Amino acid sequence: MGASALECAHQPPLTIRSVRRAAVTLPLIWLMGVNLRTVIFGIPPVLPELRHDLGLRYSASGALTSIVLATLGLGSVPGAILGARFGARRTVTITSVGLGLAAAGRLLPPQLFWVFAGTVGLALCVALAQPSMPVLVRRWYPQSVPRASGIYSNGILVGNTVGASATPLVNQLFGWQATFMLWAGIALVGGVLWAWLTPRDDAGPAPSRLMESIRDRRVWQILALFTFQNIAYFSAATWLPFLLRGQSPFYVSLVFLCVNLFPLPVLLLVTVLPWSYPLSSAFYVAAGLMTLVGSVGLLLGLVQLAWLSGFLLGLGCGAAFMAALALPPMVAGDESQASAFTALVFFFGYFLAFAGPILAGSIADATGAITAAFWPSVAAAVLMAVMGLVVPRAMSRAPARGPGPAATSAPGPK
């Protein structure tokens, strides 16, 4: 309560201009988080039909997810450099429009080529935009960084949920091509609204702090956890539709709701409790154990209990993702360092995790059993729990640098 009262005491007075700005900008920050994920999480649910129509092998199907992870990683550092050179808002504006165009481009002929090329393009646009978002949150809401960051994180989680859960129904009614057009259209609308309504307040070129930040041990501690939760989630999400093939569309949608939507109320409750969950060893260990139990259930092929396994896996991975995403702005001292921390965590975290889905596909090809594709999720869940014993304690001893908001404010609701 003391931290909350102190934060409220430092809030600037409300004005018509500030209220109007928040009423416009905060929803667009949330929508940007949604659009940065729906186009990605809408891919795994349609992989079985896409594989059939395009004549892909299992390993090639898994590669569609893996190249997304690799591109998200490889594009993060250039994204931080572009944001520092051309301005954070301008970078997000251009890449958000490009995201919609690339997502729609997956339907161009010859489709076998453009499905992969468009997927790389949309993932690159997401990667280039992500390091600039913490900069804009800190710039536009310097006295409310935790809450504004929470709105952005909520948009990401909702994008995960909508992309993964609504896609099977749209696919069943209209086909997988329609799902590509749906998410591309929403992304284009969001990009246009962002360009039109967000404040035009980019500053001049700023120095990049990537080389300084790469030597900071805190970055490596965060990205280890981020990597393992990525492997666990993306490997399971990629091959879950194959495990559920032959089940009713309603049941498939239910399972994906359990993976992505139903954990959200629990995660929201975690963020409003008066404790620093990103620095808690017990939090990460519990997240790893839940992910492990869910992954083992899928490995055993318990299709009728896939909803429960999916819920545990989604809750564990979502909790670890939420905490890992909160750490860079919490420990960074200023906008530039927040961007550098975020870029490096995304770069290494996604790049190292890209092998998960394609390795799972290779295991399925070698064994002839779809259930074997969940071995990478099991291994990553164990490593998540192990890292939970190390990362939070090391993080809690590492002081934040500089007097920035993330260093001085108590964690707020996400």
pLDDT digits (tens, 9 = 90+) for 320-378: 887 887 777 777 777 777 788 888 888 888 777 777 888 888 898 899 888 999 999 99
CA Rg value for the chain: 20
Q: Look at residue 146 and tell me if it is in a domain.
A: yes
Q: Mind listing the pLDDT tens digit for each residue in 42-94?
A: 888 888 888 888 777 777 777 787 788 788 888 888 998 888 888 889 999 99
Whether the predicted pLDDT of 413 surpasses 50: no
Which pLDDT does position 343 carry in this prediction? 87
Q: How many CB atoms sit inside 10 A of residue 228's CB?
A: 30
At residue 157, what is the residue type?
Answer: L
Which pLDDT does position 401 carry in this prediction? 39
Query: Which residue's entry shows tokens 């690799």?
Result: 70
Whether the predicted pLDDT of 229 surpasses 90: yes
Which pLDDT does position 376 carry in this prediction? 94
| Side-chain half-sphere exposure of 97, counting CA atoms within 13 A | 10
Q: Look at residue 9 and tell me if it is in a domain.
A: no
Q: How many CB atoms sit inside 10 A of residue 28's CB?
A: 18
Question: Would you say 75 and 123 are in contact if contact means Cβ atoms under 8 Å apart?
Answer: yes
Q: Across the chain, how many H-helices and E-strands are there? A: 21, 0
Based on the structure, what is the number of domains in the chain? 1
Phi, psi angle pair for 64, to nearest 5°: -60, -40
- Predicted confidence band at 13 (pLDDT cuts at 50, 70, 90)? low
Which pLDDT does position 396 carry in this prediction? 43
Whether the predicted pLDDT of 252 surpasses 90: no
Q: Mind listing the pLDDT tens digit for each residue in 370-404?
A: 899 999 999 999 999 998 887 654 444 344 333 33
Q: Look at residue 7 and tell me if it is in a domain.
A: no
Phi, psi angle pair for 109, to nearest 5°: -85, 150
- Predicted confidence band at 414 (pLDDT cuts at 50, 70, 90)? very low
Q: Look at residue 6 and tell me if it is in a domain.
A: no
Q: Look at residue 383 and tell me if it is in a domain.
A: yes
Which pLDDT does position 412 carry in this prediction? 33
At residue 377, what is the residue type?
Answer: S
* Average pLDDT, integer, range 228-244: 90
| Side-chain half-sphere exposure of 19, counting CA atoms within 13 A | 4
Phi, psi angle pair for 244, to nearest 5°: -95, 5
* Average pLDDT, integer, range 274-299: 89
Query: Which residue's entry shows tokens 């989630």?
Result: 233
Question: Would you say 366 and 298 are in contact if contact means Cβ atoms under 8 Å apart?
Answer: no
Host H or E run for residue 308: helix 306-331
Smallest Cα–Cα separation from 260: which of 319, 321, 310, 324? Answer: 310
Token couple for 266: 């629990």
Phi, psi angle pair for 284, to nearest 5°: -70, -40
Q: Look at residue 72 and tell me if it is in a domain.
A: yes
User: 152: Cβ–Cβ under 8 A, 6 or more apart, which residues?
Assistant: 29, 30, 32, 33, 133, 137
Give the integer Cα–Cα distance in Å for 62 and 55. 13
Q: Mind listing the pLDDT tens digit for each residue in 144-181?
A: 666 777 678 778 988 988 887 788 889 888 888 999 99
Do you find a cis peptide bond into 110, omega within 30 degrees of 0?
A: yes
Whether the predicted pLDDT of 250 surpasses 70: yes
Q: What does pTM read for this prediction?
A: 0.72
Q: How many CB atoms sit inside 10 A of residue 12's CB?
A: 9
Query: Which residue's entry shows tokens 């109320």?
Result: 265
Which pLDDT does position 383 carry in this prediction? 94
Which pLDDT does position 29 carry in this prediction? 92
Q: Look at residue 347 and tell me if it is in a domain.
A: yes
- The CATH number of the domain holding residue 260 is 1.20.1250.20
Structural domain span for residue 181? 15-408
Which pLDDT does position 192 carry in this prediction? 93
Q: Look at residue 342 and tell me if it is in a domain.
A: yes
Which pLDDT does position 6 carry in this prediction? 38
Give me the chain's average pLDDT, please: 81
Which pLDDT does position 19 carry in this prediction? 56
CA 334, chain centre distance (Å): 22
Whether the predicted pLDDT of 12 surpasses 90: no
Phi, psi angle pair for 51, to nearest 5°: -60, -45
| Side-chain half-sphere exposure of 222, counting CA atoms within 13 A | 31
Question: Would you say 260 and 164 are in contact if contact means Cβ atoms under 8 Å apart?
Answer: yes
User: 248: Cβ–Cβ under 8 A, 6 or more apart, which residues?
Assistant: none
- Predicted confidence band at 109 (pLDDT cuts at 50, 70, 90)? confident
Which pLDDT does position 300 carry in this prediction? 96
At residue 44, what is the residue type?
Answer: P
Supply the DSSP symbol for 273: S
Give the integer Cα–Cα distance in Å for 290 and 313. 6
* Average pLDDT, integer, range 207-222: 79
Question: Would you say 365 and 294 are in contact if contact means Cβ atoms under 8 Å apart?
Answer: no
User: 324: Cβ–Cβ under 8 A, 6 or more apart, which residues?
Assistant: 222, 225, 226, 229, 278, 345, 349
Which pLDDT does position 180 carry in this prediction? 92
* Average pLDDT, integer, range 174-201: 91
Give the integer Cα–Cα distance in Å for 284 and 318. 11
Phi, psi angle pair for 248, to nearest 5°: -70, 150
